[in-house]
Amino acid sequence: MAAGAAAAAAILLPLMNRRQIYRLRAPASGREALAAVEPGTVYVDRETGEEMRPVTRTLPLAPSESALLRVPENLRACRRCDQLIGLDVSDCPYCGLRQPALDGGS
C-alpha cells in the first residue's frame, strides 16, 4: 500500500461504523440505553442496578461505510408518495402508508 493510501485510510476510518450498536433494555423498569455490546459482558443500569439486555440492533448495521443513520443504503422510497424514508420506520412519515416488512437480512 502506498503511503498516500495509508494516510487516506487513517483519515476515513473514524467515519466508518465498525461496531454494532444495540438498544439495551432493563426488563422490570423498561429503562433503555444504547451501547456497543461486547459478548460475555453484563450491562447494568446505573440508576436501578438492573441487568440490561440487548433487544435490537440500531441502524446503520455494522460494518458499514458510514456511521450516519440516513445514508442511501438505509433509505427506501415510499411506494405511494415517493419520499425517501428510513428502512427502520413502519409507517411513512409523509403520507402514513404502512411499509412492507423487510426480509430481515442485512
Residues within the interface to Zn ion (CB under 5 A): 78, 80-81, 92, 94-95, 97
CA distances from 15 to 68, 83, 106 (A): 9, 27, 20
For residue 71, which phi and psi values (nearest 5 degrees)? -105, 160
Q: Which is nearer to Zn ion, 26 or 92 (CB)?
A: 92
The answer to whether 36 and 21 are in contact (CB under 8 A) is: yes
Q: Nearest approach, Cβ of 81 to Zn ion (angstroms)? A: 3
Q: Nearest approach, Cβ of 18 to Zn ion (angstroms)? A: 33
Q: Which is nearer to Zn ion, 9 or 95 (CB)?
A: 95
Q: Nearest approach, Cβ of 24 to Zn ion (angstroms)? A: 31
Report strand pairing: 84-86 vs 75-77. antiparallel
Q: Which is nearer to Zn ion, 18 or 80 (CB)?
A: 80
CA distance 54 to 66: 22
